[in-house]
């Protein structure tokens, strides 16, 4: 079915009025609001405490009824679910829990398009396939989608994958470290400059994929992400500049430290990273909060 068909008057009449309800740190909610607007539907978006007012305004600009709550991300998800149940809306969330897995799975399939297109472009350039893939994780849906794709397509010959989280919201890392096969939540305000990764409860679908197929799990302080933002903004001569937000840049920040710091040599050796490595990094956001971006790049906020 084409997008034009979905937007048609005929389909709208069959569907009637729908309210899309979601909780978000920024990017997901903006996407949901945009989609609702394109389809002639309404959207209600809840953001966690401390969310950027610029990200809030960007969501409102897409026509959403959006607000910043007094809760962390996971409690905002619960609030959105409660609101949808009481008001007759449909929850469009990129995390799964028992009894709510169909829509998150569809969203993960959408994320799978990203890695499929990336590998297609790499092959079309005649470049070698990645030996390593660094993936940032919040609830794990993005990372799990890419990991699942790689495991399905390449089996035992898949690239080595590293899962990266902020140390204040490292629910995947905590779950792996518990070593009981079960997902474990991180509680508290989950405060981090990596706002897109400030999630304390793993997605039930993603958790099992990341548990079974990923190779290393890393918990990072905020200055690792800030370093990645600065490197991308001011690259070596001849390399392209990339304007990336904190959640999208943490992979490069980590890689640069693994490559350079003697105290991280064990990580480098375990991952078998050397001059022959071909490492794929995926930035999942631009400077969605230009004020904080400028503080990092211009003012040197969060130094290593």
Phi, psi of 132 (to 5 degrees): -140, 150
Whether residues 153 and 42 share a domain: the answer is: no
Task: Please state, for a pLDDT cut of 70, what percent of the chain lies above it.
Answer: 100
Listed in sequence order, the DSSP H helices in 181-289 are: 204-213, 222-233, 246-260, 265-271
- What domain count does the chain have? 2
Whether residues 171 and 285 share a domain: the answer is: yes
Whether residues 191 and 59 share a domain: the answer is: no
Whether residues 77 and 149 share a domain: the answer is: no
Task: Please state, for a pLDDT cut of 90, what percent of the chain lies above it.
Answer: 98
Phi, psi of 45 (to 5 degrees): -125, 125
Whether residues 157 and 259 share a domain: the answer is: yes
Whether residues 118 and 84 share a domain: the answer is: no
pLDDT of residue 304 exceeding 90, the answer is no
pLDDT of residue 37 exceeding 90, the answer is yes
Indicate whether 104 belongs to any domain: no
* Mean of per-residue pLDDT scores for the chain: 96
Whether residues 141 and 47 share a domain: the answer is: no
The 8 Å CB, 24+ separation contacts for 290-298 are 290/54, 291/52, 291/54, 292/52, 292/193, 292/246, 293/229, 293/243, 293/245, 296/193, 296/226, 296/229, 296/230, 296/246, 297/229, 297/230, 297/233, 297/234
Say if residues 63 and 36 touch (Cβ distance below 8 Å). Answer: yes
Structural domain of 22: 3-91
Of 62, 91, 120, which marks where a domain is finished?
Answer: 91
CATH of the domain at 215: 3.40.50.1100
Mean pLDDT over residues 143-154, rounded?
97
Mean pLDDT over residues 214-236, rounded?
98
Q: What is the pLDDT of residues 11-20, one digit of tens each?
A: 999 999 999 9
Mean pLDDT over residues 109-126, rounded?
96
Indicate whether 303 belongs to any domain: no
Whether residues 138 and 241 share a domain: the answer is: yes
Q: What is the pLDDT of residues 41-62, one digit of tens each?
A: 999 999 999 999 999 999 999 9
Q: How far apart are CA 85 and CA 64, in angstroms?
A: 18
- Which residues lie across from 296 on neighbouring strands? none
Whether residues 10 and 138 share a domain: the answer is: no
Whether residues 50 and 147 share a domain: the answer is: no
Mean pLDDT over residues 256-278, rounded?
97
pLDDT of residue 244 exceeding 90, the answer is yes
Whether residues 131 and 253 share a domain: the answer is: yes
Whether residues 193 and 128 share a domain: the answer is: yes
- Which residues lie across from 219 on neighbouring strands? 165
Q: What is the pLDDT of residues 175-224, one digit of tens each?
A: 999 999 999 999 988 999 999 999 999 999 999 999 999 999 999 999 99
**pTM of the entire predicted model:** 0.94
Mean pLDDT over residues 280-297, rounded?
96
């Amino acid at each position: 079915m084409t997008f034009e068909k979905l937007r048609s008057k005929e389909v709208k009449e069959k569907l009637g009025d729908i309210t899309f309800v979601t909780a978000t740190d920024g990017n997901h909610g903006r996407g949901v609001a945009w989609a609702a607007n394109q389809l002639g539907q309404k959207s209600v978006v809840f953001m966690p405490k401390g969310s950027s007012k610029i990200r809030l305004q960007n969501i409102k600009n897409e026509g959403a009824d959006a607000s910043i709550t007094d809760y962390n991300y996971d409690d905002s998800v619960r609030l959105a679910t409660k609101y949808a149940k009481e008001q007759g809306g449909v929850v469009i969330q990129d995390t799964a829990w028992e009894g709510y897995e169909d829509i998150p799975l569809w969203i993960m399939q959408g994320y799978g398009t990203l890695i499929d297109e990336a590998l297609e472009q790499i092959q079309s350039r005649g470049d070698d396939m990645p030996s390593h893939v660094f993936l940032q994780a919040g609830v794990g849906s993005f990372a799990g989608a890419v990991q699942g794709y790689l495991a399905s397509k390449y089996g035992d010959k898949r690239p080595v994958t590293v899962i990266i989280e902020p140390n204040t919201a490292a629910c995947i890392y905590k779950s792996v470290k518990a070593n009981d096969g079960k997902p474990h939540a991180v509680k508290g305000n989950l405060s981090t400059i990596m706002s897109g990764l400030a999630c304390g409860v793993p997605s039930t679908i993603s958790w099992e994929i990341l548990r079974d197929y990923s190779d290393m799990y890393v918990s990072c302080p905020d200055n690792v992400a800030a370093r990645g933002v600065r490197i991308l903004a001011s690259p070596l001569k001849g390399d392209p500049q990339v304007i990336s937000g904190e959640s999208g840049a943490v992979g490069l920040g980590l890689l640069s430290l693994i490559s350079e710091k003697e105290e991280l040599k064990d990580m480098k050796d375990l991952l078998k990273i050397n001059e022959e490595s071909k490492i794929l990094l995926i930035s999942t956001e631009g400077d969605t909060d230009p004020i904080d971006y400028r503080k990092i790049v211009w003012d040197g906020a969060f130094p290593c």
